[in-house]
Amino acid sequence: MKILVIVSQTQDTEAKIKVSAAGNSIDTEGMKWIMNPYDEFAVEEAIQTKEKHGGEVVVVSMGPARVVETIRQALAMGADSALHILDEGSPDMDSFAMGKIIAGEIRKLGGFDIVFTGMKIIDEESGQVGVQIAEELGIPHVSLVSKVIEINPSANKAVCQKEIDGGHMVVEVPLPCLITCPDAMNEPRYASLPGIMKAKKKPLTEVKVSDTNLDGLARVKTVEIKVPQIERKLRIIKGQDGPMVKGAEVEKSAEELIKLLREEAKVI
């Protein structure tokens, strides 16, 4: 099987967020860059698929030179080769343009059986590029797959479970198809030391976005970013001896909390 996995590099959003001076982007100075966590699940699923059915895993990632680090991570986990779509920060890039460009490059690669992507990128959180790529490629997709039940290349189909409100859905889809991955669908493996060594020698092709015509491709522009300021009251009831409420304090703390919720917050 030819298995594709589309990975992005993202700002580690555990970190503190600061808006840039221009006011419409995030200041990435000193920011830690990581493989998008959802894409780790996608890489793991791709590698497991190869382990079961044979074939190769090709990584595709778009972004500036630094994303090579993320590509190497995927290769170290067990992917076989990679395509880097180099974009040194085109000013008019949005999700729509990105999806078009990535899909265009995938089409050139051709001959794939299945494509895995993450459900969304955790910095911008645009949540659409995976599904859009499927649409541009003209292949069916199953989004937010909680479990790949079966991939059957000889019967040319995949069966996936997807969670819906109040239950779940099982979807059967013909290959080639695209699957978007949320968390917890598998346990992404760590790159082993030999894996990391091998990754350095795996083939990595580069194409440049500047070779693509971007005119009029973007649909949406970010004009401003604000950091929400929610002031919390921080009224914490603690114990007298030691932090936890104990004994008779328990009853009193419950009473006090109810009073606060009723009289101060007015929510019960």
Partner 1 sequence: MSNEVWVVADLKIDGSVRQVTFEALSEARKKIAGKLGGELCGVLIGSGVSGHAAELGKYGAEKVYVVDNELLKDFNTEGYTIALSELIKKHSPAVVIAGNTVFGQDYFPAVAARVGAGVTMDAIEIDLTNDKKLKIKRFSHSSKAIPTQVFLDHHPMMTTVRPNSFKAVEDPKTPEVVDGAVTINSGDIKSKVIEIKTKGSDRPELTEAERVVSGGRGLGSEENFKYIYQLADMLGAAAGATRAAVDAGYCPYDMQVGQTGKAVSPNLYIAIAISGSVQHFAGMGSSKVIVAINKDPEAPIFQKCDYGIVGDLFDVLPPFTEKVRALVSQS
Ligand X SMILES: Cc1cc2nc3c(=O)[nH]c(=O)nc-3n(C[C@H](O)[C@H](O)[C@H](O)COP(=O)(O)OP(=O)(O)OC[C@H]3O[C@@H](n4cnc5c(N)ncnc54)[C@H](O)[C@@H]3O)c2cc1C
Q: Which residues bind ligand X (CB under 6 A)?
A: 37-38, 183
Q: Compute CA distances 73 → 32, 111, 253, whole Å.
A: 15, 24, 50
From 76-84, 120-128, 187-195, 226-234, give the range in contact with ligand AMP by CB under 6 A.
Answer: 120-128
Element (H, E) at 134: helix 129-137
**Complex with ligand AMP: residue 78 or 130, whichever CB lies closer:** 130
**Which positions from 222 through 241 interact with partner 1, judged by CB under 8 A?**
222-228, 230, 232-239
On whether the CB atoms of residues 60 and 104 are closer than 8 A, the answer is no
Query: By C-alpha distance, which of 166, 201, 171, 153 is closest to 52?
Result: 153
Q: Compute CA distances 240 → 18, 233, 247, whole Å.
A: 39, 21, 11
Residue nearest to ligand X (CB): 37
Question: Under rule CB under 8 A, how many of the chain's residues touch partner 1?
Answer: 87
What's the CA angle centered on 228, arms 226 and 233, to 5 degrees? 160
Query: By C-alpha distance, which of 234, 242, 201, 5 is closest to 113?
Result: 5
Q: How far apart are CA 153 and CA 138, in angstroms?
A: 19
**Which positions from 62 through 91 interact with ligand AMP, judged by CB under 6 A?**
62-63
Tokens at 181, concatenated: 């991955």
With a CB cutoff of 8 Å and minimum separation 6, the contacts of 41 are 118, 181, 182, 183, 184, 185, 186, 188
**DSSP-assigned beta bridge partners for residue 10:** 34
On whether the CB atoms of residues 209 and 90 are closer than 8 A, the answer is yes
Q: How far is the CB of 135 from ligand X (least distance, A)?
A: 25
**Complex with ligand AMP: residue 135 or 249, whichever CB lies closer:** 135
**Complex with ligand AMP: residue 7 or 47, whichever CB lies closer:** 7
Q: Which does 36 bind (CB under 5 to 8 A by kind): ligand AMP, ligand X, partner 1, none?
A: ligand AMP
**Which positions from 154 through 213 interact with ligand AMP, judged by CB under 6 A?**
none
Q: Does 38 bind ligand AMP (CB under 6 A)?
A: yes
Tokens at 61, concatenated: 């990632």
**Does the bond joining 228 to the residue before it have cis omega, within 30 degrees of 0?**
no
From 44-52, 62-70, 74-82, 131-139, give the range in contact with partner 1 by CB under 8 A.
Answer: 131-139
Q: Does 142 bind ligand AMP (CB under 6 A)?
A: no
Q: How far is the CB of 217 from ligand AMP (least distance, A)?
A: 14
Query: By C-alpha distance, which of 213, 215, 208 is closest to 65?
Result: 208
**Which positions from 65 through 124 interact with partner 1, judged by CB under 8 A?**
94, 96, 99, 119, 122-124
Q: Which does 62 bind (CB under 5 to 8 A by kind): ligand X, partner 1, ligand AMP, none?
A: ligand AMP
Q: Which does 206 bind (CB under 5 to 8 A by kind): ligand AMP, ligand X, partner 1, none?
A: none
Q: Which does 107 bind (CB under 5 to 8 A by kind): ligand X, partner 1, ligand AMP, none?
A: none
Residue nearest to ligand AMP (CB): 118
Residues that bind ligand AMP (CB under 6 A): 6-8, 36, 38-39, 42, 61-63, 95, 98, 102, 117-118, 120-121, 124-130
